[in-house]
Chain A
């Protein structure tokens, strides 16, 4: 009697375990099935490289959005990556361990702030600042990069701290015993050793930045054009989907799904790279 219930439990748990995988497959299938037909009909090159986004006239070129997403993300990485890695290094190597053990969870806690709140701050505080001191309407590419940069900081800091802490103590001690300062050790031994974990954190943060929707909608101004400067308003791929989905029909709706396909593919590639990088580190050990 217990044997059959054992077998039942085993089958049940296997079925449950497949739920995660099936969910992923299901999502991929649906998004692709809604978006791919459009891409094939409209033409991939037209879709990706045309600058004309005019749903009323049947024009669905997402190039401005692609460029904007790229610039906003790069800007966010330029702000978030150095600050994040610097913060991680400072907190692990130059601050007493007990202090770090308080600050790290505090930073992770701050990561829980909903993105709409970040966006709101961007609108109420950052955009006016940019408008008054740098010009332009305030709601801009720059505002988007700054807010996104701040949003990805906890991810980069947290994972980088973990990677730096994972470097064996013997590496550090070996270097220090040869008369190196802590900073020299960090620069020449610890950071290179933690390289893959830090790289993975940056790749993951990039994925998050590309996928962010609410905050960018609120601070980037959402105008569809290729930006000439950082002070101009832009619209990202995610914002495009979110803003127009509510009233889109027919081909318009399919175009938005196709945008989703592009996003999905890009982020999957980033995920693959991040885990590939992480696996490299494990393999080297």
Chain B
């Protein structure tokens, strides 16, 4: 499996405080990488570093390299705006934009195409289907997205990201506020999506990583402690801290 993203001695600081320290990691394409670790371990900072969202807030500095398909996304000439179309993100809290469902989905594609973009209804339908939301909303695409339930809103956020046809999908604890049924739907969607995309899933729930992820990475206090196949990480981890966290001795 080819390497999609490679991190090379990558660090992130907020002011003087280190949030991520010297991360070396290779992420392969077409698989789900689960990222686990206790709160404050740097998982979210790591995720946001992959689509350069950290730099939206003043005070963040990054060192080292992050290679997407061999190109350093922190290089001087790399455009962050186009990066985010290739690397999409779903946040922990569902944030539908205050518009209709249809407008939410078409927001992203319209940005790059400008006024000449013809409504490609196929894109709306296919992204909603891929997020397992199409059947529930197909008759009310023009109604406000704010009327959807929490689980539906989160799936909408996933569909919105898919409409851009990215190469990588980042998810930051996407199921943290959702009921088990919605969680199951999202996990099912991810399992199918990995065939076409590279998925990185940060989760507080180790069991979710065990269910869905092919490989898992364990972060602790800003450092990458261990990374391997999910099966190996959960049955025979190399580092004692990994097994302690997974078995619930701390976290």
A positions within 8 Å CB-CB of B: 2-3
Contact = CB atoms under 8 A, between A and B. Distances in A.
B79 interface: yes
B81 interface: yes
A3 B79 CA distance: 9
Nearest to A2: B81
Contacts of B81: 2-3
Contacts of B112: 2
Contacts, number: 4
**In terms of DSSP, what is the predominant structure of the interface of chain B?**
helix
The 4 closest A-B pairs by CB, nearest first: A2-B81, A3-B79, A2-B112, A3-B81
Interface of B: 79, 81, 112
A272 B242 CA distance: 60
Contacts of A3: 79, 81
B117 to A, nearest CB: 14
Nearest to A6: B81
A46 B79 CA distance: 67
Nearest to A1: B114
4 contacts: A2-B81, A2-B112, A3-B79, A3-B81
A22 B79 CA distance: 35
A1 to B, nearest CB: 9
A68 B22 CA distance: 74
A35 to B, nearest CB: 44
A3 B81 CA distance: 9
A276 to B, nearest CB: 27
B109 to A, nearest CB: 14
A8 to B, nearest CB: 15
A2 B79 CA distance: 11
A237 B154 CA distance: 65
Contacts of B79: 3
Nearest to B111: A2
A78 to B, nearest CB: 48
B118 to A, nearest CB: 19
A6 to B, nearest CB: 9
B110 to A, nearest CB: 13
